[in-house]
Amino acid sequence: MPTGVNQSDRMTPKTRVAELAVAGGEPMFRQTIHVGRPNIGDRQRLRERIDDLLDRRWLTNNGQYVQEFERRVARRIGVRHVVAVCNGTVALEIAVRALGLTGEVIVPSFTFAATVHALHWLGITPVFCDVHPRTHTLDPRRVEELITPRTTGLIAVHLWGRACDVDDLSAIANRHHLKLLFDAAHAFGCSYQGRMVGNFGNAEVLSFHATKVLNTFEGGAVVTNDDDLADRLRLMRNMGFRTLDEVVSVGTNGKMSEVSAAMGLTGLESIDEFIAVNRRHYEHYRHELAGIPGITLAPVSETERSNFQYVVLDVDEAHSGISRDDLIRVLHAENIKARRYFFPGCHRMPPYRDLYPEAGASLPETERLAESVLCLPTGETLTAEDVAAICGIVRLAVSHSGELRPILSRATR
Ligand code: T4K
């Protein structure tokens, strides 16, 4: 176990509804178990790097750690350019701007708000497209019908690290002369048809937020094989400065700091371990959850690389007897902070719900997923026993859903 990781303080398995915390029992975990607990890696190496950058008094502005981080990420992905920035949202904004997107851009609603906010922030109309029921990613069959003379591009999201249907989306983009940007915030270390995510479309955007498989505290990158685009991106992230005192274009301050890059370099040295731990937890969840009626673990491709960072459950109330939201209440009471990613769907959030009140009508799959999907904890702070305990609670809640129903409805009153 990596240094500093605490063994969870846990109750023995529960077998009766009366033992559930929602029914007045002790919570299963004394401390909250979170989705998105950061991976840290070798703290000693991190401290050495922080001492080194402090000694050199070089804290930001394309320092040597940022440059080294960009080279190492580029090598890992096999892509020509990695432009590291301060977070994934700014990465999206400068990518959208550097690609010259305007007018309308087709985007899923079933994603984190940042994907859509980046467009609206830049005065572009997001046109919401439904996702595929099996992959939860942009459904190419729905994209073409949304293209208008104002459409300039598509943003597709490799949700949960599962690559989109890159071939079909690329064919559509080519046929209609549209730019294709992938939001790969979840997909560092994942592949599509054997090639690493980061090599597709005009560019791809990564997030290195604390909650991602590889983190730089806050951070992100735009990655591309297009030399001219990379040049524009580098200018934009640094206020358009070409040389010491020559500004040649509009830009913003999107730079990654040295301490962030130090964290990223340290994490990269342990990334295979992080992914192996996630994979073990995923397999364990799959084993423990198998056969629970109405509970489906989103599958991970057997043939592609995945980072296994998101453990996603689809709760079908008709078969489980308990809704996703009630299951979340049961889990939260046990101090298992499962998350409703991505509820309620961007089209149902302000300002989009007021701007596009009819959007839901063409997003049946998005609306279903937003009501039925939840994410469970994983990562290096979790143990196999924790996974078994979490699955035990899910099993108990489903197998005794009838007995739980009056308790849950009393609790809401
Ligand atoms: N595109 C997509 C598809 C994305 O999912 C995201 C970000 C982006 C773009 C934008 O990238 P960034 O600009 O963020 O780089 C979290 C993350 O903040 C966000 O990065 C991520 N997606 C999203 C899926 O999850 P929240 O609102 O859920 O954050 P929060 O504060 O509730 O944290 C999540 C869980 O992580 C909590 O249960 C606690 C735990 N946590 C969090 C932090 C920050 C920790 O244990 N330690 C920590 O330091 O958005």
Q: What is the pLDDT of residues 301-326, one digit of tens each?
A: 999 999 999 999 999 999 999 999 99
Residue 221 beta carbon below 6 angstroms from any ligand 1 atom = no
Residue owning the nearest CA to atom 44 of ligand 1: 210
Tell me whether the CATH fold assigned to 7-38+270-411 matches the one assigned to 43-266: no
State whether the beta carbon of 87 lies less than 6 angstroms from ligand 1.
yes
185 ligand 1 Cβ < 6 A: yes
> What is residue 200's three-state secondary structure?
coil
The pLDDT score that the predictor gives to residue 410 is: 83
Measure the CA–CA gap between 294 and 310, rounded to whole angstroms.
Answer: 19
2 band by pLDDT with thresholds 50, 70 and 90: very low
pLDDT band at residue 413 under the 50/70/90 scheme: low
Cα–Cα distance between 113 and 115 in angstroms, integer? 6
| Residue 337 parent element (H or E) | strand 336-337
What's this model's pTM, rounded to 2 decimal places?
0.96
Q: How confident is the model at residue 4 (pLDDT cuts 50, 70, 90)?
A: very low
Ligand 1 center–CA 390 separation, angstroms: 21
**Cα–Cα distance measured from residue 257 to residue 236, given in angstroms and rounded to the nearest whole number:** 16
Q: Which CATH code, of 3.30.980.10, 3.40.640.10, 3.40.440.10, 1.10.4000.10, is assigned to 43-266?
A: 3.40.640.10
Q: Which of 181, 211, 366, 381 to mutate to test the pocket of ligand 1 (most atoms within 8 A of CB)?
A: 211
332 lines ligand 1 (CB under 6 A): no
Residue 176: per-residue pLDDT: 98
Q: In degrees, to the nearest 5, what angle opens at C-alpha 6 toward C-alphas 19 and 16? A: 10
pLDDT over 70, % of the chain: 97
Nearest to 179 by CA among 290, 280, 102: 102
| Residues 237-247 pLDDT 10s | 999 999 999 99
**Ligand 1 proximity of 288 Cβ (cutoff 6 Å):** no
pLDDT(257) > 90: yes
Q: Is the CB of 77 inside a 6 Å radius of any atom of ligand 1?
A: no
Distance from Cα 228 to the centre of ligand 1, integer Å: 31
Residue 412 pLDDT exceeds 90: no
User: What per-residue confidence (pLDDT) applies to 6?
Assistant: 44
Decide: 324 in ligand 1 pocket, CB within 6 A. Answer: no
- pLDDT at 5 (0 to 100): 39
Q: Could you give the CA distance from residue 141 to residue 106 in angstroms, rounded to a whole number?
A: 13
Distance 210 CA to ligand 1 centre (A): 7
pLDDT digits (tens, 9 = 90+) for 150-165: 999 999 999 999 999 9
pLDDT, position 3 = 35
Select from 112, 160, 237 the residue to mutate for testing ligand 1; criterion: most ligand atoms less than 8 Å from CB: 112
pLDDT for the residue numbered 10:
84
| Domain-wise residue ranges, the chain | 7-38+270-411, 43-266
- Mean pLDDT across the chain: 96
Instruction: Note the pLDDT tens digit of each residue in 368-409.
Output: 999 999 999 999 999 999 999 999 999 999 999 999 999 998
Given a cut of 80, whether residue 411 has pLDDT beyond it is: no
Query: In angstroms, what is the span from residue 57 Cα to ligand 1's centroid?
Result: 30
Confidence of residue 11 (pLDDT cuts 50, 70, 90): confident
- Tell me, in angstroms, the distance from the centre of ligand 1 to residue 113's CA: 11
Tokens of residue 94, six digits: 């400068």
Q: Which residues have a Cβ under 8 Å from the Cβ of 161 and sit 6 or more positions away?
A: 186, 187, 189, 190, 213, 300, 306, 307, 308, 309, 310
7-38+270-411 is classed CATH 3.90.1150.10: yes
The per-residue pLDDT for range 342-360, each reduced to its tens digit, is 999 999 999 999 999 999 9
